[in-house]
Amino acid sequence: MSDETVRTNKERTKSKGKRNKKKRAHRWAFPIGLMLSVFAVIGLVTVVIAGINGVRYAVTKVKNIDEYTKMLIPVVMNDPDMFDDISQADMNQLLDISIWSILKSDLSPDTYEYSNGNMIIPEQDVADEYTKLFGSERAPVHSTVTGYGYDFEYNAAEKQYTIPLTGIEPTYTPKIVDVEKKSNTIVLTVAYLASDGWAQASDGSMVAPEPDKYVKVTLREKDSQHYISAMQMTSTPETAVTQIGEEVITEEPQTALADNFTQEQTSAEEASQEASEPESGSAEGESEATTKKEAEGESATASQNESTTQGSTESSTAIAD
């Protein structure tokens, strides 16, 4: 009896020990599960944030490349000389780029005044555009700009440039193939595409030519603005980044300005002529109407004579038959 009692007590002790072990084994299950859940939520949030940042970066990159391309259009169009530092650049070419940058900024015809069919741009506007493109380390030295088949005449007394409204075809258009950031600089690898090398595919789309050369354009940051500090030749890149914003703007705003100016000038001259010579206009109108009637009468007579002649011929033929 005593042996059975002892055995029973031992079994109870073992059972109790197992229950205590079971309780001890599951005591950390909830905290660990909660921690894993927290980590899972953090991971999910991290992935979502990374995705949002990735999309934001892609959008920003597209926007930046579009802005860089627009900025470089007047820079590369006349194929300026290369320079390792802005202090070594040709001032005539820098002024030429600055003026073309103004002309290609979607100007309306009434932005500037005109004189003898030419646009007048103040010296200060050219200086401001120059500073925006090339910074303030080297001040512009204003003078007449000589380009390929044109001159932008500078008037020192009036502090202004005279711009002939004649369109030209740019030598090159830019295509950015790489963007590299280095501390406070951005290095753009730019492909130079010959403007006369574009072709049209059978579906109507434009096919870009192979680049003639590649140039590294270094943008330096100052006061949260980037300006061109160097332009250097480079070899053909082994790999190019995925092209973003491949559309190259080849429209020439200066041609449109010339057309608008001519149309406005012609309309004004016609209105002035009509206002100053109303009687002459009426007389001319009556004279034209009279002449027209006489011409119609002569034409009708000629037609009638022709018909008569033809009828006579046919009649003669019939008689002969």
Q: For the chain, how many structural domains are there in total? A: 2
Q: Which of 251, 274, 293 is the last residue of a domain?
A: 251
Structure tokens at 236: 């053909």
Instruction: Answer whether residue 207 is part of any domain.
Output: yes
DSSP of 166-205, one letter per residue? -----SEEEEEEEEEEETTEEEEEEEEEEGGG-EE-TTS-
Query: Given the structure tokens 């555009």, which residue do they identify?
Result: 129
- Report how far residue 186's alpha carbon sits from residue 281's, in angstroms, rounded to the nearest whole number: 65
Same domain membership, residue 226 and residue 148: no
Element (H, E) at 105: none
Helix axes 29-76, 91-103, angle to 10 degrees: 110
Same domain, 49 and 129: no
In a domain, 150, yes or no: yes
Is 118 among the domain residues? yes
- Within-domain flag for 299: no
- 71 lies in the same domain as 208: yes
Check: pTM over 0.75? Answer yes or no: no
- 218 and 190 share a domain? yes
Q: Is the pLDDT of residue 47 over 80?
A: no
69 and 82: one domain? Answer: no
- Say if 106 falls within a structural domain: yes
Q: Is residue 1 part of a domain?
A: no
Residue 182 — pLDDT band, cuts 50, 70, 90? confident
Q: Do 153 and 213 belong together in one domain? A: no
Q: 94 and 148 in one domain?
A: yes
Q: Which of 222, 251, 280 is the last residue of a domain?
A: 251
Bridge-based pairing state of the strands 113-115 and 118-122: antiparallel
Q: Among 168, 196, 223, give the residue marking a domain's end.
A: 168
Comparing CA positions, the residue from 208, 215, 254 lying closest to residue 236 is: 215
Same-domain pairing of 103 and 136? yes
**Could you read off the pLDDT of 116-156 as tens digits, one per residue?**
989 999 999 999 999 999 999 999 999 999 998 899 999 99
| Lowest mean per-residue pLDDT among 24-28, 107-111, 184-188 | 24-28
42 inside domain? yes
Rounded Cα gap, residues 319 and 321, in angstroms: 5
Instruction: Report yes or no on 38 lying in a domain.
Output: yes
Residues 177 and 72 in one domain: yes
Domain co-membership, 216 together with 162: no
The mean pLDDT value of the chain amounts to 74
Residues 150 and 220 in one domain: no
> Domain range holding 180?
32-76+171-251
- Half-sphere exposure of residue 76: CA atoms within 13 angstroms, side-chain side: 32
My answer on whether 83 and 156 are in the same domain is yes
pLDDT, one tens digit per residue, over 261-310 is 444 444 444 444 554 444 444 444 444 444 444 545 454 444 444 444 44
